[in-house]
Chains A and B, each alone.
Chain A
C-alpha cells in the first residue's frame, strides 16, 4: 500500500513537466498550437518521442520502453495540467493500446515502432454517428476480403493520422480491427474539424477501402477493445485530474488577487467555502485516480472494468463541479477564450464524453450492483 511515486517516476514527472509544461507555460502558445492544423505542435511531439514518452507503454521488442501504467498516467496528468493538445491519449494510449493488445508481432513492431519514434500518428476510428459509447462496431462493416464500408465519427486526430486503426462489424458476427494506411488511406474521405476544446477529430468515411486485419483475420476482438477502452478511461481520468489541479490552483490564485469592493475576493466566505468544496472534490478524485491506475498495474480485467467505470464516474462528477465553479469564481473572464480557465472546462467536457459520461458508468455499475455486498478496494491486487 503506497500512493507515492518512486525516484524514477518522480524524475519522469519532472522531465515531462520540464518539456511539456514549459512548452505551454504561456497560454498563448497553446492557443497558437490549436489555431491551425494539425492542432498540435509537431516539433514538441518529436521531442516527446525523443524523450521516450511515446513508446512508454509498449514492450522493448515492439520498439517501446516497457514502462507500466503508472508512468503513462504520470505523462497524461502532466499533459492535462497544461491542456497540451498533443494526441497522446488518442494515439499512444488508445490506438496504440489496441495494436499492442491485438496486433501480430510484425504489426506491433512496425506500427508501434513508428508511433514510438514519432514518425507516425495513430488514430482509432471507432465511434459511429448516432451511436452511444460501446465496444462494438455496428454500421461500419468489413467484407470477407477485408474491405471497409461506412462512416466513423469523433476520430481523434483522424485527419492528421498516418495509420488508422478501424473497428468494423464482421460478416461472421462480432467486431474486428483493421489497419488502414498508405495508399488505401489516401482514398479514404477524412473531414477534420475542431472539438469544443480546440482539439482535433475527424469524420472518416470508408467506401470499399482495402484494409489489413489487425491480428488474426476474422477474430472477434470486442473484449480486447473493451479492455483498451477501460485503460484509456483511466488514463483520461489522469489527464482530467491534471486539468482540475490547474483549475483549482488558478481559482485560489484569482481569489487572492482579484479585488472588488476594495478588497480581495477571498474576503468573502461565500466564495472561499466554494473553493473548499472544490478542493474536496479534487482530493477525492485524486485518490480514486491513483487507485484505478494501480488496478491497471495489478492486471485483472474484471477489476480493470470496474475501476474504469468507478474512476470515470467520479471524474465526470468532479470535473463538472470543478469546471463550472472555476468559471463562476472567476466571473466573466472565465468564459473568455483569451483567459485559460474556461477552455480547461471545455476539455473536461470533451474528456467526459470520450468514453461514456457519468450516467453511462452508473448504468454499467448498476448491472453488477447486487453481485457483491461492499467494495473492498484492497481486494483487487
Chain B
C-alpha cells in the first residue's frame, strides 16, 4: 500500500494541470467557476483547446487520438480538469458516440466521424429516451423502415440535452418490430439538418433551456449511417451506457463548488455552526468518494472494473445535489434577491436554478434506483 503518486504520475499531474490552466481560455474557465451556462461556441472552443494537446479523448483507441493511459492517469486527468474549471469534453462526443464508432463502426464511419468528433467539428446529440421509454429504454418505439438505400425514420425522442446545438444525433430506432424488443433495435446516425427533423425546446424548472424533444417525420437517412448490423443497436447501447457510468461522479467539480461556497459564505459560516457542520460533513463524504474513485482507478489495471465503481455514480450525484442544496441554504434570503450588488450576490441568485437543475443528476445516466439495482443484483447477488 502506498499513498504517494509515483514520480511519473506526479509529473503527469503537474503537466495536465499546467495545460488546463494555460491553454483553455480564461473566459470559459471563469464561466465554469461562476456556474454560468456555456454557449455552444465556448463548449466547442474548449474541447478544441483540449484536443490540440491530445487531452480531449485520451480513452479512445490510440489510432484515433487515445493516449493509452492507465485508469489512474485518466482519473487524474478528469479531476485536474474539473479543479481547473475546464469544461469536461462534450460527453456525447467523447464518452458516448466516439467510443461506439471506434468499437462498432465501419472503417468509412471511423474516418468520417472520429476526427471530427474528437475536435467537436460535429456537435453530437443523444437520441435514446422517448416519452414511453425512460429507464425501460428497450421499449422505444421510433421506427426506421428501409426504403431503397435509405431508412425512413418516424417517431419522437426526448430529453435531448443541448439538442438545439446539435449537428448530428445518434439514435436508437426500431428496425424490426417482430422480434424480442432488444433484438429489434438498431443505431442510426442522423444529420440534424435533415428534412422532417424538428427540435422543440422543453422548458425546465430552473427556467433554462437545456433539453429538447426531437421529432422525426419521414426523415430519410442513408443506410450507410447505421452503426453495425441491423438489430445490433442494443449491444452498442449497453456498451455506451457502461461507458457513461465511468467518470459520471463529478468529484472535482463538486469539491470546487464547496470550496467556493466556503469562500463566498465565509461571513455567514462564521456565525452559523450548523451550516459549518454540514460543510465539514460534506467535505468528508466527498473525500470518501474521491478516495473510492482513486481506489477503483488504481485497481483497474487492465482487468475487470473494481466492483466499488458502481457506487461512484450513485454517491457522486447524491453529493453533487447535497452541495447544491447547501449553497442555496448559504444564500438564504439572497435566493429571493435580484442578484444585483456584486458577484457574490449574483452567485447566490443562481444557486436555486442550479439546485433545481441538478435534480436531474440522480435521474440520468441510469437513475440512482437503477444503480441500486445494479449493486444489489450484480454485486451482492440479491
Interchain CB contact under 8 A, A1 and B9: yes
Query: Contact between B298 and A256 (Cβ–Cβ < 8 Å)?
Result: no
Asked whether any CB of chain B lies closer than 8 Å to the CB of A105, the reply is no
Judge if B146 is at the interface, Cβ distance under 8 Å.
no
CB <8 Å contact, B5 and A284? no
Stretch of B109-117, B256-264, B344-352 contacting A (4+ beta carbons < 8 Å): B256-264
Known: A255-B382, A314-B288. A290 touches B295 (CB 8 A): yes
Of A4, A276, A310, A377, which one neighbours B294 at CB under 8 angstroms? A377
Q: Given A1-B294, A280-B375 in contact, is the A362-B281 Cβ separation under 8 Å? A: yes
Q: Sample 28 A-B pairs with CB under 8 A, ordered by A number.
A: A1-B2, A1-B5, A1-B6, A1-B294, A1-B298, A2-B2, A3-B295, A3-B299, A252-B381, A255-B382, A273-B376, A286-B295, A287-B288, A287-B291, A287-B292, A290-B1, A290-B295, A291-B3, A294-B1, A295-B3, A297-B3, A298-B3, A365-B283, A370-B269, A373-B262, A375-B286, A375-B287, A381-B3
Residue of B273, B286, B292, B373 with most partner-chain A CB within 10 A: B292
Instruction: Tell me the bound Cα distance from A4 to B380 in angstroms.
Output: 22
Are B289's CB and A366's CB within 8 A? no
CB of B280 within 8 Å of the partner chain: yes
CA distance A185 to B284 in the complex (A): 43
What mask results when residues 90 to 131 of chain A are scored 1 for a CB within 8 Å of chain B, else 0?
A: 000000000000000000000000000000000000000000
Q: How many angstroms from the CA of A378 to the CA of B85 in the assembled complex?
A: 20
Contact with B along A1-19 (1 / 0, CB 8 A): 1111110010000000000
Q: Which residues of B contact A373 (CB under 8 A)?
A: 259, 262-263
B335 nearest CB across to chain A (Å): 23
| In the complex, residue of chain B having the shortest beta-carbon distance to the beta carbon of A291 | B291
Interface string of B2-15 (1 = CB under 8 A from A): 11111001000000
Distance (whole angstroms) from the CB of B224 to the closest CB of chain A? 43
Contact of B382 among A275, A314, A377 (CB under 8 A): A275
User: Which listed residue, A5, A286, A366, touches B277 by the CB 8 Å rule?
Assistant: A366
User: A residues within 8 A CB of B299?
Assistant: 3-4
Total of A-B residue pairs, C-beta within 8 Å: 151
**CB-CB nearest in chain B for A284:** B288
Q: A298-B3, A369-B283 are in contact. List 8 more A-B contacts (CB 8 A).
A: A3-B299, A266-B376, A272-B373, A280-B315, A283-B308, A287-B295, A375-B286, A378-B3
Q: What is the distance, in angstroms, from A146's C-beta to the closest C-beta of chain B?
A: 41
Interface string of B248-289 (1 = CB under 8 A from A): 000000011011001100100100010011011101111111
User: Is the CB of A201 closer than 8 A to any CB of chain B?
Assistant: no
Q: Is A277 in the interface zone, CB < 8 Å from B?
A: yes
- A276–B376 Cα distance when bound, in Å, is 5
> Does A369 contact B4, Cβ atoms closer than 8 Å?
no
Q: Known interface pairs A279-B311, A284-B311, A370-B266. Does A70 touch B1 (Cβ–Cβ under 8 Å)?
A: yes
Q: Determine if B289 and A284 form an interchain contact, defined as CB atoms under 8 angstroms apart.
A: yes
Cα distance, A256 to B376, chains bound together (Å): 11
Q: Specify which chain A residues have a CB less than 8 angstroms from the CB of B382 in the assembled complex.
A: 252, 255-256, 266, 272, 275
A362 x B291 contact (CB < 8 A): no
From B262, B288, B308, A288 is in contact (CB under 8 Å) with: B288
CA distance A288 to B376 in the complex (A): 22
What's the tally of chain B residues with a CB closer than 8 Å to chain A? 52
A1, A269, A279, A314: residue with the most chain B Cβ atoms closer than 10 Å: A1
Q: Is the CB of A294 within 8 A of B380?
A: no
The reply to whether B292 and A1 form a contact with Cβ atoms under 8 Å apart is no
CB of B269 to closest CB in A, whole Å: 7
Which residues of chain A come closer than 8 Å to B373, judged between CB atoms? 269, 272-273, 276
CB distance from B377 to the nearest CB of A (A): 8
Q: Are B276 and A276 in contact (CB under 8 A)?
A: no
Residues of B within 8 A of A70 (CB): 1
Tell me which residues from 249 to 269 in chain A have a Cβ below 8 Å from any Cβ of chain B.
252, 255-256, 266, 269
Q: Does A326 contact B (CB under 8 A)?
A: no
A369-B280 in contact (CB<8A): yes
The 6 closest A-B pairs by CB, nearest first: A381-B4, A287-B291, A272-B376, A294-B3, A276-B375, A284-B288
For chain A, give the interface size range.
35 or more
Contacts of A380 in B (CB 8 A): 3
A340 at interface by CB-CB < 8 Å: no
Is B38 an interface residue, CB under 8 A from the partner? Answer: no
Chain A residue at smallest Cβ distance from B307: A283
- Tell me whether B314 is interfacial, beta carbon within 8 Å: yes
Identify the B interface with A (CB < 8 A).
1-6, 9, 72, 83, 255-256, 258-259, 262-263, 266, 269, 273, 276-277, 279-281, 283-292, 294-295, 298-299, 308, 311, 314-315, 369, 371-373, 375-377, 379-382
Selected from A284, A285, A298, A365, the residue in CB contact (under 8 A) with B280 is A365
> Is the pair B258, A374 in contact by a Cβ cutoff of 8 Å?
yes
Residues from chain B with Cβ under 8 Å of A378 in the complex: 3-5, 294
Q: Chain B residues near A4 (CB, 8 Å)?
A: 1, 298-299
Contacts of A298 in B (CB 8 A): 3-4
- The residues of B that contact A381 with a CB separation of less than 8 Å are 2-5
Complex contact B259–A374 (CB within 8 A): yes
Chain B's closest residue to A248 (CB) is: B380
Closest CB-CB distance, B263 to chain A, in whole Å?
Answer: 7
A355-377, CB under 8 A of B: which get 1 and which 0?
Answer: 00000001001100110011101
State whether A375 touches B298 (Cβ < 8 A).
no
The CA-CA distance from A272 to B374 in the complex, in Å, is: 11
**How far is it, in angstroms, between the C-alpha of A365 and the C-alpha of B373 when the chains are bound?**
35
Residue A175 interfacial (CB < 8 Å): no
Q: For A283, what are the chain B residues with a Cβ–Cβ distance below 8 Å?
A: 292, 308, 311
- Alpha-carbon distance A275/B6, docked complex (angstroms): 37
- Digitize A122-146: 1 where CB-to-B-CB distance is under 8 Å, 0 elsewhere: 0000000000000000000000000
- Kindly name the residue among A275, A276, A310 whose own CB sees the greatest number of chain B CB atoms within 10 A: A276
Instruction: Confirm or deny: A238 has a beta carbon within 8 angstroms of a beta carbon on chain B.
Output: no
CB proximity of A223 to chain B, nearest CB, Å: 23
Is A313 interfacial (CB-CB < 8 Å)? yes
Q: By the criterion CB–CB under 8 Å, are B262 and A369 in contact?
A: yes
Specify which chain B residues have a CB less than 8 angstroms from the CB of A374 in the assembled complex: 83, 255-256, 258-259, 283
Any B CB within 8 A of the CB of A293: yes
A295 vs B372: C-alpha distance when bound (angstroms): 32
User: Bound complex: CA of A280 vs CA of B279, how far in Å?
Assistant: 21
Which B residue's beta carbon lies closest to that of A288? B288
Q: Which chain A residues (41-69) contact chain B, with CB distance < 8 Å? A: none
Give the docked Cα–Cα distance between A285 and B315 (Å).
Answer: 13
Nearest opposing residue in chain A for B260, CB measure = A373
Contacts of B380 in A (CB 8 A): 252, 272, 275-276, 279
Most buried by A among B83, B262, B273, B288: B288
